[in-house]
Amino acid sequence: MLSPEHRAIVKATVPLLEAGGEALTTHFYRMLLTDHPELRPYFNQASQQSGEQQRALANGVLMYARHIDRLQHLGDLVTTIVNRHVSLQVRAEHYPVVGACLLRAMREVLGEDIATDAVIEAWHAAYFQLADILVGAEKTAYDSVADSPGGWRGARSFTVMAKIRESNEITSFWFEPTDGDAVVAHEPGQHVGLRAFVDGVEVRRSYSLSSVADGKRYRISVKRRPNGVVSKYLHDCMHPGDTVELFPPAGDFVLDDSGKPLVLISGGVGITSTLPMLQAALAADRPIHFIHAARHSDAHAFRDWIDDLAEHHPRLKRYYCYEVHDGETPMPDATGFLDAALLATWMPSTQDVDVYVLGPRPFMRAIRSHLRELGVPDAQVRYGFFGSPSSLD
Ligand SMILES: NC(=O)C1=CN([C@@H]2O[C@H](COP(=O)(O)OP(=O)(O)OC[C@H]3O[C@@H](n4cnc5c(N)ncnc54)[C@H](O)[C@@H]3O)[C@@H](O)[C@H]2O)C=CC1
C-alpha cells in the first residue's frame, strides 16, 4: 500500500529522473535482458539500439512519479501500456522480475547515498501499485477476447494464405487459423501480436490489422526496414503455406462511430490502420476524406485499391501528397510535406469532423500543429496508437 510518505519520496525523485532517467532505463534494460533472456522476445532490438525503448520507459517512469498523487491524470499512458502489453501477451508473473531489476538499477545508477533504503522502499510500493493496476486491466482484456465468439487466449497457429506486394517496401500477409475455425472480429484500428522464430530465436511484434473484420482471416501489411529483424524475416522468408502464431487483436485506437464526416490522414505505413477504418466508414455511409502522404510514388501502397473505391463511392474523396516527385505518373495531388493550406483545402470542414492521424511521430506532430492552426478542436482529433494530442509531446 502506498503511504503519503511513499508518495512524497517518489515525487522528490522527479528531478533525478528528469536528469538521469535514460541512464537508469538503459542500465535497467541491459540487466534485464542479460539476466532474463526469456524476456528478450518481448523487446524490439532495433528500438533498443536506437534508444527509443529506453527513452519511452524513462518517460513512463517520470510521468508516473509526477502523477503519483493523481493517477487519474495518467489515463492515456496506462491505456497505451496495457494495449502494448496485451498485444505481446505480457503476464502477471513478469512484473516481479521487471520490478526487481528496476529497483536494482535505481540503486546502482543513483548510488546508495541517493537511492537509500527509504527511496527504494517507496519505489517498491509505487511500482507494485502500478503493477496491480496493469495486471488487472490486462486480465480483463485477455478474458474479454477469449470469451468472444472466435476469440482465444495466448498463441494460436495461423497459416499464410497470401503474400501481396503493395509498394516497393510494404507487403501484405493474409492469415487464416490453421484449425479452420472462426476468428474474433477486430475493431478498425486494432492490431495483433505475432510470434515467430527467426534463426531459432523467438520474436514478438505487434502489427496493425489492415483489413476490416470478416470473421475468417486477418491481414497485416508490413514495411521492410533495413534493421528490422522481423520485417525482413516476413518479407524474405515467410511464404504462403507457412505457419505463424498470432495473439488476439487488441488496442483501443479504434474508429468511433459518431456519424460525422471522417478525415483519415496517414503518412507512410501508418496507412495500414486507416484501411479498415475506411472500409467500416464506407459501409456506414459516412463521407470520408482520405489524405495520404508518401515519400514518393514507389513507396505509395494501396493507391490502386483506394482509387478504385473512390471511383465507385462518390462520398469517398482521396488526396495524395508525395514528399518528392519526378513528374512521372502516377501523379500526386501535391508535393512536399502536407501543410495547413493543403489540409484546409482537402478537409470538408475544420469543425464538424472526426480526424484520425497515423504515421511517423514527426509527421503526426506536424499535422497536429497544422490542425491547431486551422482551429480544428483537439477533442475531435486522435493520433496513432497513442490517442490524445498531448501524448505526442
Ligand atoms: N501511428 C500509427 O498508428 C502507426 C505508426 N507507424 C509508425 O510510422 C513510422 C514509419 O512510417 P514510414 O512509412 O517509415 O514513414 P515515411 O518515412 O515513409 O514517411 C511517411 C510520410 O511522412 C512524411 N513526413 C515525415 N516527416 C515529416 C515531418 N516532419 N513533417 C511532415 N511530414 C513528414 C513523409 O514526407 C512521408 O510522406 C514508424 O515509426 C511506425 O512506428 C506505423 C504504423 C501505424
In angstroms, the CA 204 to CA 202 distance is 7
Is the pLDDT at 283 greater than 70, yes or no?
A: yes
**Pairing mode of beta strands 288-294, 262-267:** parallel
Burial (Cβ within 10 Å: 0-12, 13-18, ≥19) of residue 358: buried
Task: Name the residue at shortest CA distance from atom 1 of ligand 1.
Answer: 384
Q: Cα(363) to centroid of ligand 1, in Å?
A: 6
Q: Cα(266) to centroid of ligand 1, in Å?
A: 8
Query: Is 294 a pocket residue for ligand 1 (Cβ < 6 Å)?
Result: yes
Residue 10: closest CA among 50, 59, 86, 63: 63
Burial (Cβ within 10 Å: 0-12, 13-18, ≥19) of residue 165: exposed
**Domain-wise residue ranges, the chain:** 4-147, 156-250, 262-392
- What are residue 145's phi and psi, to 5 degrees? -75, -30
Query: Is 208 a pocket residue for ligand 1 (Cβ < 6 Å)?
Result: yes
- What are residue 183's phi and psi, to 5 degrees? -120, 150
In this prediction, residue 391 carries a pLDDT of 62
**Strands, DSSP E only, in the chain?**
156-165, 170-177, 191-198, 201-208, 218-223, 243-250, 262-267, 288-294, 316-322, 334-335, 354-358, 381-383
Task: Name the residue at shortest CA distance from atom 19 of ligand 1.
Answer: 268
In this prediction, residue 80 carries a pLDDT of 85
Crossing angle of the two packed helices 4-12 and 117-147, in degrees rounded to 10: 100
pTM: 0.92
> Which string of DSSP letters, residue by residue, matches 287-352?
-EEEEEEESSGGG--SHHHHHHHHHH-TTEEEEEEESS--SPSSPPSEESS--HHHHHHHSS-SSS
Query: Is 251 a pocket residue for ligand 1 (Cβ < 6 Å)?
Result: no
Tens digit of pLDDT for each residue in 246-257? 999 999 889 998
Is the pLDDT at 392 greater than 80, yes or no?
A: no
Is the pLDDT at 296 greater than 90, yes or no?
A: yes
Q: Fill in the amino acid letter for 140.
A: T
In this prediction, residue 46 carries a pLDDT of 83
What is the second-level CATH architecture of the domain 262-392? Answer: 3-Layer(aba) Sandwich (3.40)
pLDDT band, residue 385 (cuts 50/70/90): low
Tens digit of pLDDT for each residue in 148-160? 999 999 999 999 9
Distances in Å between the Cα of 234 and the Cα atoms of 48, 67, 91, 154, 225 are 20, 40, 26, 21, 11
Average pLDDT, the chain: 94
Q: Would you say 27 and 107 are in contact if contact means Cβ atoms under 8 Å apart?
A: no
Crossing angle of the two packed helices 303-312 and 271-283, in degrees rounded to 10: 20
Q: Would you say 132 and 218 are in contact if contact means Cβ atoms under 8 Å apart?
A: no
Query: Is 273 a pocket residue for ligand 1 (Cβ < 6 Å)?
Result: yes
In this prediction, residue 387 carries a pLDDT of 53
Sign of the CA dihedral running 312, 288, 347, 272: negative
Tens digit of pLDDT for each residue in 309-368? 999 999 999 999 999 998 888 999 999 999 999 999 999 999 999 999 999 999 999 999
- Is the bond preceding 287 in cis, omega lying within 30 degrees of 0? no
Task: Name the residue at shortest CA distance from atom 32 of ligand 1.
Answer: 363
Q: Pick the atom of ligand 1 nearest to 293's CA.
A: 37
In this prediction, residue 128 carries a pLDDT of 94
Q: Is 39 helix (H, G, I), strand (E, B) or coil?
A: helix
In this prediction, residue 389 carries a pLDDT of 60
| Pocket-testing residue among 337, 338, 367, ligand 1, by greatest number of atoms within 8 A of Cβ | 337
pLDDT band, residue 289 (cuts 50/70/90): very high
Q: Cα(117) to centroid of ligand 1, in Å?
A: 45
Read off the pLDDT of each residue in 39-68 and give the average, rounded to a whole number: 89
Is the pLDDT at 300 greater than 90, yes or no?
A: yes
What percentage of the chain has pLDDT greater than the value 90? 84
Fold of 156-250: Elongation Factor Tu (Ef-tu); domain 3 (2.40.30)
Half-sphere CA count of 93, side-chain side, radius 13 A: 3
Read off the pLDDT of each residue in 79-101 and give the average, rounded to a whole number: 93
Q: Cα(268) to centroid of ligand 1, in Å?
A: 5
In this prediction, residue 47 carries a pLDDT of 85
Q: Pick the atom of ligand 1 nearest to 383's CA.
A: 1
In angstroms, the CA 112 to CA 89 distance is 35
Task: Name the residue at shortest CA distance from atom 3 of ligand 1.
Answer: 384
Active site residues: 95, 138
Task: Name the residue at shortest CA distance from atom 10 of ligand 1.
Answer: 360
In angstroms, the CA 84 to CA 279 distance is 25
Is the pLDDT at 1 greater than 80, yes or no?
A: no
In this prediction, residue 109 carries a pLDDT of 93
Read off the pLDDT of each residue in 299-316 and give the average, rounded to a whole number: 97
- Whose cell is 514478438? That residue is 204
Q: Would you say 191 and 269 are in contact if contact means Cβ atoms under 8 Å apart?
A: no
Query: Is 337 a pocket residue for ligand 1 (Cβ < 6 Å)?
Result: yes
Query: Is 151 a pocket residue for ligand 1 (Cβ < 6 Å)?
Result: no
Task: Name the residue at shortest CA distance from atom 8 of ligand 1.
Answer: 360
Residues in the chain, overall count: 393
Tens digit of pLDDT for each residue in 183-203? 999 999 999 999 999 999 999
Nearest 5°: the CA angle 153, 155, 160 is 130
Q: Is 52 helix (H, G, I), strand (E, B) or coil?
A: helix
In this prediction, residue 350 carries a pLDDT of 93
The strand order across the sheet containing 170-177 reads 201-208, 191-198, 243-250, 156-165, 170-177, 218-223
Query: Is 269 a pocket residue for ligand 1 (Cβ < 6 Å)?
Result: yes
In this prediction, residue 152 carries a pLDDT of 98
Is the pLDDT at 38 greater than 70, yes or no?
A: yes
Fold of 4-147: Globin-like (1.10.490)
- Partnered with residue 225 across adjacent β-strands are none
| Pocket-testing residue among 47, 222, 224, 269, ligand 1, by greatest number of atoms within 8 A of Cβ | 269
Is the pLDDT at 5 greater than 60, yes or no?
A: yes
In this prediction, residue 390 carries a pLDDT of 62
Read off the pLDDT of each residue in 126-145 and give the average, rounded to a whole number: 95
Burial (Cβ within 10 Å: 0-12, 13-18, ≥19) of residue 155: middle
